[in-house]
């Protein structure tokens, strides 16, 4: 984007008034950046033609800090919703985009976030087709909050449902856990520590689509372990299907520096948020072949089977430890890491 001069160094209440300042902000930043045939109509909404089954997901992003190693709130706002639509077995195509901006946010920061959203949307193959911008008084927000809603056609071979899960199904994870949460914590006020840990935020839709092309309804479930981490997702699944989940501690992929940071802060990596990995529960006959295919993709190169579904201990997750014991993985009760995404 060329250098933009709105006549102000920061967002003020006039930019959310609906008047000339709002139009200036929209024309020079939003419409210019996201220009496409849908948005260029500058209407109250967009009309799209989508046949067949449609997946829709919405998410709001309040991460603090808004800029962090490996990305910013703009990356999360696109990747998070794109991935949620993909977890439904769908191919994301369109996003809505809504900003709630606090008075005083630097215009340069706003532009950087908008540019990141555009770059991330392009990488994900989705278009921004409608949106909204509101400004709240100084002290009534925290720099910027973003909401996105994603739409996509369900893959013709997908049949994603927890009801299809059966004993013996394998649990596959696409990559190392706890990276996003620890990247955020390393830069949070009062907890900063030296680290090269970066958020794993990325779009997973193309890898998911590739897996559905190859394995179709043999894939029973996709989930992305964001807030609450891997433990929360597995606990929810066990509770929903009224079966047990067994996982193996030694199989869990985690980088050494992430494990060390978790230990330093007294955090369990199983409960730390992720933004660039997914869990899949699949028919055992395809597990090895699916892992092999995932490992050929840079977003699944560390994919591994971490456990399986069992008829034993229904509604519970049990982890088999490296020393041969067993540990019950209980659902998280409160908030371990607030405003992580």
Is 313 found in the same domain as 170? yes
Both 108 and 76 in one domain: the answer is yes
**Which pTM value belongs to this model?**
0.96
pLDDT at 170 over 70: yes
Residues 140 and 275 in one domain: no
pLDDT digits (tens, 9 = 90+) for 304-319: 999 999 999 999 999 9
Q: Same domain, yes or no, for 168 and 142?
A: no
Q: Are residues 19 and 83 in the same domain?
A: yes
The pLDDT of residue 34 is 97
Residues 149 and 179 in one domain: no
> Is 169 found in the same domain as 149?
no
pLDDT in tens, 202-249: 999 999 999 999 999 999 999 999 999 999 999 999 999 999 999 999
pLDDT category of residue 332 using cuts at 50, 70 and 90: confident
Same domain? 205 vs 269: yes
Range of the domain at 73: 10-153
End residue of a domain, out of 131, 153, 175 = 153
166 & 149 share domain: no
Residue 170 lies in a domain: yes
List, for residues 19-47, the tens digit of each pLDDT value: 999 999 999 999 999 999 999 999 999 99
Strands 326-329 and 317-320: antiparallel
Residue 1, pLDDT above cutoff 60: no
């Amino acid at each position: 984007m060329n250098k933009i001069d709105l006549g102000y160094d920061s967002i003020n209440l006039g930019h959310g008034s609906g008047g000339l300042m709002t139009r200036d902000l929209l024309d020079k930043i939003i419409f210019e950046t996201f220009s496409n045939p849908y948005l260029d109509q500058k209407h109250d909404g967009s009309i799209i033609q989508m046949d067949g089954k449609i997946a829709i997901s919405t998410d709001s992003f309040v991460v603090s800090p808004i800029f962090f190693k490996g990305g910013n709130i703009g990356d999360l706002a696109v990747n998070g919703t794109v991935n949620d639509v993909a977890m439904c077995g769908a191919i994301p195509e369109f996003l809505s985009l809504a900003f709630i901006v606090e008075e005083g946010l630097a215009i340069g920061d706003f532009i950087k976030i908008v540019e990141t959203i555009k770059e991330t949307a392009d990488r994900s193959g989705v278009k921004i087709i409608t949106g909204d911008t509101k400004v709240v008084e100084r002290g009534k927000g925290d720099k910027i909050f973003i909401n996105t809603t994603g739409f996509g056609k369900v893959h013709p071979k997908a049949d994603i449902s927890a009801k299809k899960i059966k004993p013996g199904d394998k649990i596959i994870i696409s990559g190392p856990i706890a990276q996003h949460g620890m990247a955020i914590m390393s830069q949070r006020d009062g907890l900063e520590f030296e680290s090269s840990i970066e958020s794993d935020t990325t779009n997973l839709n193309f890898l998911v689509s590739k897996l559905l092309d190859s394995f179709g309804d043999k894939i029973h479930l996709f989930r992305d372990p964001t807030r609450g981490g891997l433990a929360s997702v597995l606990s929810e699944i066990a509770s929903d299907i009224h079966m047990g989940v067994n996982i193996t501690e030694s199989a869990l992929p985690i980088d050494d520096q992430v494990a060390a940071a978790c230990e330093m802060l007294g955090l369990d990596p199983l409960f730390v948020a992720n933004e660039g990995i997914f869990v899949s529960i699949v028919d055992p006959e395809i597990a090895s072949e699916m892992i092999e295919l995932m490992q050929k993709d840079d977003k699944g190169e560390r994919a591994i089977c971490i456990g399986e579904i069992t008829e034993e201990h229904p509604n519970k997750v049990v982890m088999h430890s490296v020393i041969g014991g067993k540990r019950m993985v209980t659902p998280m009760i409160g908030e371990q890491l607030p405003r992580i995404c």
